[in-house]
Structures are given as structure tokens and as C-alpha cells.
Amino acid sequence: MNFYKDDTVVIIEKTWQEYNQTKDITLRNYILEAYLYIVSTNIKKMYTMVSNQQDIEDMTNQGVLELINCIERYDYKRGIQFDTFASIRVRGSIIDYVRKKDWIPRDTRKKVKELNESETLFMNQNGRTPTESELALQLNISEEDVDKLRQDELNSKLFAFEELIQDNNIQLIENSSTVEQHPEDKILEDEFKEVLAQHIDQLDKNERTVISLYYYEELKLKEIAFVMGLTASRVSQIHAKALNKLKERLTAYVMT
């Protein structure tokens, strides 16, 4: 077999040469199997944005089709690692699927808007952030419904942030004129992650804590609220503010 493992599977140049010359389906499927982890990794990131197993299966199929397309299009002579090249495009195809599906119904969007308006009204009247039970009482819904609306709102923000990262990664890959000259210094996805990490470090303490607990510890909003001694509403506000800051700074980074 013409590949070796070093943390992740790497198909050596000789294999790419052979496939580009023969377009052998068996060899293509062999390469596909070696890189299927790219699809599963990106699907896992989108779990909270879909509602059922069928959506996950559809997203997986979309990701696999794009991975096959990447194998067909990949030019090993450019000096870009295949997993970098494919990850960006597989993620993009999955994001396109979610975007077209419009997974948050119009009625839910309306309820999220009402939730935010109710929260603002309460803060103006009482000078503090309402608890989940107070919001539920004001909107005549259950606390579980409030939690679900919070998650729907968060998902929409997360999706917008995923779109930003996706668009920026593609722009970095396609606009770089030095990838072929110095491929060892131009692992662009790693560079972008490093910049993202730097900007996260520049957030204030509460923002960093929320980002860390949500993305790395994978806690839910209510769990983060308990850990930080805040209301879930306040945690949601901190999270939204942090994402907006990161979005602005990453956009500025790509434009320079």
C-alpha cells in the first residue's frame, strides 16, 4: 500500500501521481477511505445545528461527495497538503447544505426575537438581567422552551461564524501567491487557527471563559451559567459579544 501514517494518514506523492495518470476507481476509493476522517470531523462540528439523524446522514453524504470531488481536483504539485485543501472544501459543502435547508423555521425566528425583546424590556424595567424562569413567565412558555430558543439563537450565530471561517480559509488558500514557493511555511489552515487563538486570548476574562467552556469543555449554556454564577441570558449575551469581536477581527486579518 502506498501510504504511511504520521498522526494522520498521508498519501505519498507517488500515489497521487499514479492516480492522476490512471484515474483508477479502486485507487480513488483507497484514497477516499484514508481521508474519510475529514468528513466525520466536520460533521461533528455541526451536530448542534441539525435536528435529526436524517440531516446528519444527508450532511455526511454531501461531505463524501465533495471529498471525492477534491480527490479528482487535487494537484499535488502545488505543495498544499491534501487534508488542508479538502477540509476547507468539505466544510464549505456542509455549510452550503445547512444554509439551503434553513434549519430554523420562521416561527422559531419570531419567537427568538420576542425572547430578546422581552429580555430587553425586563432589563430596562428592573435594571438587571432576568432569570430563565422570569423570562418563561413573561412569555408564558416553559423554561425548557426558553432553553431551546437560546440554543436556536446560538446556533444561528455559530453558523454565521462557521461561514466566516470557511470564507476566510478559502480566501487565504486561493489568494496566497507564495504557497508553492514555501509550502513548509504556508500551512494556511494552521496559520488561521493560530490567529484565531491569538484573538481569543485578547477577549476579556468572561468572554474567554464562555468560549472555553462552550467549545472546549462542550458545556451547555445553563451549565456555563451555573459554573460562572451568572444567568443563562447573561452567558448568551457574553457569547454573542465574543463571537462578534472575533468576526470583526478575523475579517480585518483576512483583508490585510
CA distance 165 to 246: 10
Cell numbers standing for residue 239:
457569547
Specify the DSSP class assigned to residue 140. T
Q: pLDDT at position 170, please?
A: 46
Q: What is the pLDDT along the chain (256 residues), one digit of tens a residue?
A: 333 344 445 667 788 889 989 999 999 999 999 999 999 888 876 665 565 677 788 889 999 999 999 999 998 887 778 887 888 888 888 877 776 765 566 777 788 888 888 888 998 999 888 888 898 998 999 988 888 888 777 766 665 666 555 555 544 444 443 334 334 334 455 666 677 778 888 899 999 898 888 877 778 788 888 899 988 888 888 888 888 888 777 766 655 5
* pTM of the shown model: 0.51
Q: pLDDT at position 175, please?
A: 44
Long-range contacts of 227-233 (CB under 8 A, 24+ apart): 230/129, 231/129, 231/130, 231/131, 231/132, 232/132, 232/146, 232/147, 232/150, 233/119, 233/129, 233/130, 233/131, 233/132, 233/135, 233/150
Collapse the DSSP code of 107 into the 3-class scheme (helix H, G, I; strand E, B; otherwise coil) and give the result: helix
Sketch the domain layout of the chain as residue ranges. Answer: 1-103
Helix-strand-coil split of the chain, %, nearest 5: 80, 5, 20
The CATH label, of 1.10.1740.10, 3.40.50.620, 3.30.565.10, 3.40.50.720, for the domain at 1-103 is 1.10.1740.10
CA distance 101 to 95: 10
Q: Give the pLDDT confidence of 173-186 residue by residue, as tens digits.
A: 444 433 343 343 34
Q: Give the pLDDT confidence of 12-35 residue by residue, as tens digits.
A: 778 888 998 999 999 999 999 999
